[in-house]
Structure 1
């Protein structure tokens, strides 16, 4: 199949397919008599594998290690697969914790909005007041621990 058909079958952009070839994740296809790339079913499967790894937010380096492990009998290489997934899981859990903290900060910030802006404009908006306070390095509702992100905190 040609690259366009491979792209449609996998949902992977043509330029991305070419990038995967150049980076060694996807082997180059055979060429037909007219010089067109002729991708086989194995390319489709490998590209689907890469796409699935990317959907799991794995790096291309990690996906390359997984691909190298596919046909390996090397116990050390295969045990590396477990370690790789454990490391990815740790990164995801850290991001989840960070996202929960961000959610709490936004909820605290949102609680400062009492509808005053409808009557008084920007001067009555508790959210904007809190963001300005944080920009000045003052404590704000969303950083109750004092971890403001303004000029004053940059000096810490």
Structure 2
């Protein structure tokens, strides 16, 4: 991969679009290089690595604010702080899983009532939403 690249080549190399790169710049997640006399800002491999880091963190559910904190901790020997952020995110994911399992159970019960074939005058799903 070339050391210096335009914003469009950076976006391609990082697997995002140009507007994502610009958004990350406005958000302070990546630096915007100075505009040289040629008029085109250039980016390097470190910028690609940073954008990929951001995207992977987003896939794990980290917010941009949390990612900003992670980036500040990167390489600073503060593994305990990084672990605390990851543990907090894990707890949130586990809570969401619990909520999703409860939703699944409730919906399965509603569908089962519909499938029971009882000659009700009202829809069991609608009735369950009204009653509960």
Tell me the TM-score normalized by structure 2.
Answer: 0.83
Give me the whole-angstrom Cα distance separating, in 2, the residues matched to 1:86 and 1:52: 17
Q: Which of the residues 56, 66, 70 maps onto 1:66?
A: 70
Extract unaligned runs of 5+ from structure 2. Answer: none
The residue that corresponds to 2:106 in the other structure is 105
Give me the whole-angstrom Cα distance separating, in 2, the residues matched to 1:115 and 1:103: 18
The residue that corresponds to 1:78 in the other structure is 79
Q: Could you tell me whether the CA contact under 8 Å between 1:30 and 1:37 is conserved in 2?
A: yes
| Residue 71 of structure 1: how far off its partner (Å) | 2.8
Q: Could you tell me whether the CA contact under 8 Å between 1:26 and 1:46 is conserved in 2?
A: yes
The residue that corresponds to 1:3 in the other structure is 7
Extract unaligned runs of 5+ from structure 1. Answer: 139-147, 149-156
| Residue 128 of structure 1: how far off its partner (Å) | 3.1
Give me the whole-angstrom Cα distance separating, in 2, the residues matched to 1:38 and 1:11: 17
Which aligned segments of 4 or more residues in structure 1 are displaced greater than 2 angstroms?
A: 29-34, 123-131
Give me the whole-angstrom Cα distance separating, in 2, the residues matched to 1:30 and 1:45: 19
Q: Could you tell me whether the CA contact under 8 Å between 1:66 and 1:81 is conserved in 2?
A: yes
With a CA cutoff of 8 Å and minimum separation of 6, indicate the structure with the bigger relative contact order.
Answer: 2
